[in-house]
Amino acid sequence: MASEQAEREFTTGNIFRRLIGSMAPVLGALILQTMYGAVDILVVGWFGSRAGISAVSAGSSLINAAVFVLCGLATSVTVLMRRCIGEGDRRRLGRLIGGAVAVFTAAAAVLTAVFAAFAPSLVSLLQVPQEAAAQTVLYVRICGGGIAFIIGCNLTGSIFRGMGNGKLPLLFAGIACAANIFLDLLFVAVLRRDVAGAAFATVIAQACSFILSLLACRRTGRPFELTRSDLVLSGEVKRFLILGLPIAFQELLTQISFLCMIAFVNGMGEGAAGLASSCGYGIANRAAALVMLVPSALMQSTSAFIAQNVGAGKERRAQKVMGCGMLFGCAVGILMTAAAFFGGQQIAALFTDSVSYRIKAAEYLQGYSLEAIVTSILFSFVGYYSGHNQTLFVILQGMAQSFLVRLPLAYAASLMAPDSLVYIGASAPAATTIGIVINLLFFLCYSRRELKKTGELLKL
């Protein structure tokens, strides 16, 4: 009865109200993630060294690049778990989870070794300012040493969501966020451990969350049987790799583009000027994450909403969901754009008292500000295509934006206007606008075909 009621909620009733309701938990999780990333820089900015902001920004970006790619694989585990539960196959479900644990454990071991051995080379590729290089290496090695806990948190969260329990992952994320804030203040503000303290705070907070996740998994009712013999690279591994690799590949390309942006900015000067650009960009990136909260929540929520209606043969309603997402996202985006454009220095003042860092952060946010509006439109399109399982198109249009538009524009801006981050920031909405054009052209053809399938085209 509960599942039938959930289905009716998606396929009938007021779209706007249903969409907001489905967005709320997703937005909550994204807010916690954003707070987690912002706290390290905020505390280091006020209680650590000047170069610490650049070190934490670059170091966390390297760690996140690896973690987010694995999150793409973890998403496929959730999807296949739901399928196995629907089929009532407990043994297959156990083999799937056991195989996932084996793969992610191996990945954690490899990444730990890579970050320990190659941290200096990776930091060098990002052109981190000399004043921050040593601290960045230290941050990467400490977080790399505890990356098993970070990966474990994401995998257990995917398993809980696969069991239909989205509340526990959100709870554990909240606990990790609170622990990280407390430990950051303890290690950085009180014990004066600077960047190393922020790294240890991250690892310990994630370890606490992971341990709690394991305890909860043991004590809650589980729809699967897991034995030691399941902890191998079985045939189930191939299933979730086939499903998850396209998502992971898309995330890999996205993270590579982010790392390239850091390298471009870090190469825009030397000495105090170069450090100011690097730290300003690091601060602006945390503020930009706030700008992206609603568009990201929209993309995740609309894809599930649209998929349900596509399955019910309600293509016209699916298109209305997309349009509703665009209108809501743009309404919020106008406010976010105004805040980023006019209040950049005030936002940056939350992270540092350095005037030069604030100015650089404000420059980037001025150029970036329109992203809050255009991304809401683009991500609503992406949610529509994801709901129709058009994964290949989503990946290709994402690659075109990042590698054919944004990165070339950003690189040109770093060479032609090395004294300002405005044009670097503006490369993001410029690329997104091109993405909207691509998606709109595809939509004009694709949507008509889908309406023909359901017979709704005749009702126009």
Q: How far apart are CA 149 and CA 200, in angstroms?
A: 12
Give the CA dihedral 297, 351, 282, 252, nearest 10 degrees: -30
Give start and end residues of each alpha helix (H) in 89-187. 90-125, 130-145, 147-162, 167-184
Closest to 281 (Cα-Cα) out of 332, 333, 351:
351
> Which tens digit of pLDDT belongs to each residue from 142-159?
999 999 999 999 898 888
Closest to 11 (Cα-Cα) out of 299, 295, 296, 320:
320
Mean pLDDT over 330-354 rounds to 93
pLDDT value of residue 86: 66
**What 8-state DSSP symbol labels residue 405?**
I
Contacts with 218 (C-beta within 8 Å, 6 or more apart), sequence order: none
Q: How far apart are CA 286 and CA 248, in angstroms?
A: 23
Closest to 322 (Cα-Cα) out of 412, 431, 446, 189:
446
Q: How far apart are CA 155 and CA 5, in angstroms?
A: 29
Q: How confident is the model at residue 226 (pLDDT cuts 50, 70, 90)?
A: low
Higher pLDDT, 226 or 331: 331
- Residue at token pair 């937005």: 27
The proportion of the chain whose per-residue pLDDT surpasses 90, expressed as a percent, equals 50
End-to-end alpha carbon distance in the chain = 34
pLDDT value of residue 260: 92
**92 within 8 A of 236, measured Cβ to Cβ:** yes
Higher pLDDT, 71 or 333: 333
Amino acid identity at 47: F
pLDDT value of residue 180: 94
Which two tokens mark 222?
């589980």
pLDDT at residue 6 is higher than 50: no
Q: What is the gyration radius of the CA atoms in the chain, in angstroms?
A: 22
Q: How confident is the model at residue 218 (pLDDT cuts 50, 70, 90)?
A: confident
Closest to 185 (Cα-Cα) out of 279, 56, 48:
48
Q: How confident is the model at residue 25 (pLDDT cuts 50, 70, 90)?
A: confident
pLDDT value of residue 392: 83
**What 8-state DSSP symbol labels residue 165?**
-
Which two tokens mark 60?
């966390």
pLDDT value of residue 449: 87
- Expressed in percent and rounded to 5, the helix, strand and coil fractions of the chain are 85, 0, 15
CB atoms within 10 A of CB 15: 18
pLDDT value of residue 229: 64
Contacts with 279 (C-beta within 8 Å, 6 or more apart), sequence order: 50, 51, 53, 54, 57, 352, 354, 357, 360
Taking CA atoms, 124 is separated from 118, 145, 195, 256, 298, in Å, by 10, 20, 18, 15, 36
pLDDT at residue 11 is higher than 80: no
Q: Which of 6-15, 114-123, 327-336 has the lowest mean pLDDT?
A: 6-15
